Homo-oligomer: A and B are copies of this chain.
Amino acid sequence: MPDISPEALASLEESAFRSCIREFLVANYPPALRNPPKRLHFRDTKPWYLALSRAGWLAPGWPREWGGMGLSAARQLVMIEEFERHGCARFNDMGITMIGPLLIRFGTDAQKRFFLPKILSGEHIWCQGYSEPNAGSDLASLRTEAVLDGDHWVLNGQKTWTTLATDANWIFLLVRTDRNAKQQQGISFLLVPMDLPGITVRPIINLDLHDEFCETFFDTVRVPRENLVGEINRGWSMAKALLGFERLLLGSPKQASYALARLRLLAERMGLADDPSFQDRYTRLRLDLADHKALYEDFAEQVRRGESLGADVSMLKVNQSELYQRITETMLEIAGENAGLLEPMGGNRELHPSGLFIQSRPTSIYGGTNEIQRNIIAKNVLELPG
């Protein structure tokens, strides 16, 4: 446990703040969980979750009155940087990053008092139900429907990409509550316990042969009326209002940076470290990463100055994901036959070109495909008519 309270921590100068976090991580983060090759389940991350909870460090962005650290966006960013640098696994953070802030902003007092402490204690683990099989890039066309019947919403439909739904006991949903309204306008925000009758979760095995994603089915599920957050039919704008500086993280150089280091290891193993034509490719990738970091820093600086991010942050997401992919494609090309191996080379997790290649694939798909991001850049940044 840290010797310092969240309050004291928040008041430190940046460099002291940074060192304090580093020390905490070295002292408390389970070494076996550093840089895990795949997304971990709650059974693995629970001790870490609870350690953060005990330290009062679990919710950096929440206000202190609700048990958060009350950090500025700038400080949260530093904290994330340090966690990333240490190779901390992402845990089941939907309660912390999504539903908590939503309730704090739009929830009733009763909702806040009921849910927030249970998120901090680890009693409630949340997952997100936005996407549907026919509402991916075109999320606004979602069809999962909630119809009011007395004191309950009757819920029918199907969500997909409900990440780690098998770990969760609560799910938050965007659902259609007015099928006559246009697109985004008839959508509401609903909180649903996963143990209600009529809910089925089916893990989807992904290309990485991992089960982090799920499909979640709702068959005439009766949800108490008070589980709606905010106004009816306003779910879409609430969900959008929550998008803050976290969009920056989609463009963080972390993945590319991690991959480039492994590319170098792989090149050494393959005897290519001094090969001039590999060197040439490698230097291009290094420069791409360095320039990406410079661009990322400009956006991070905006956050530090307390400015909100514009649509142009989409550029980071596009550039990072495609750089990450170019790096893993290079790994695949230089690995020789090893590129085909299912498991890491010689059991060394750092040498797993095929794994990283596959893991880099969805980064240009999730969080809005890169095609959608380019649409956004053309429309909202370049303001091209259309």
Which residues does A use to contact B, with CB under 8 Å? 275-277, 279-280
Contact = CB atoms under 8 A, between A and B. Distances in A.
Could you say how many copies of this chain the assembly holds? Answer: 2
- Tell me the dominant secondary structure on chain A's binding face: helix
Contacts of A280: 277, 280
A374 B277 CA distance: 32
A273 to B, nearest CB: 14
7 contacts: A275-B276, A276-B276, A276-B277, A277-B277, A277-B279, A277-B280, A280-B280
Residue with the highest number of chain B CB atoms closer than 10 Å, among A275, A277, A279: A277
Nearest to A280: B277
A276 B277 CA distance: 6
A167 B260 CA distance: 59
A118 to B, nearest CB: 50
A180 to B, nearest CB: 29
A304 B276 CA distance: 45
Contacts of A275: 276
A266 to B, nearest CB: 19
Nearest to A283: B277
A213 to B, nearest CB: 29
A280 B276 CA distance: 9
A282 to B, nearest CB: 11
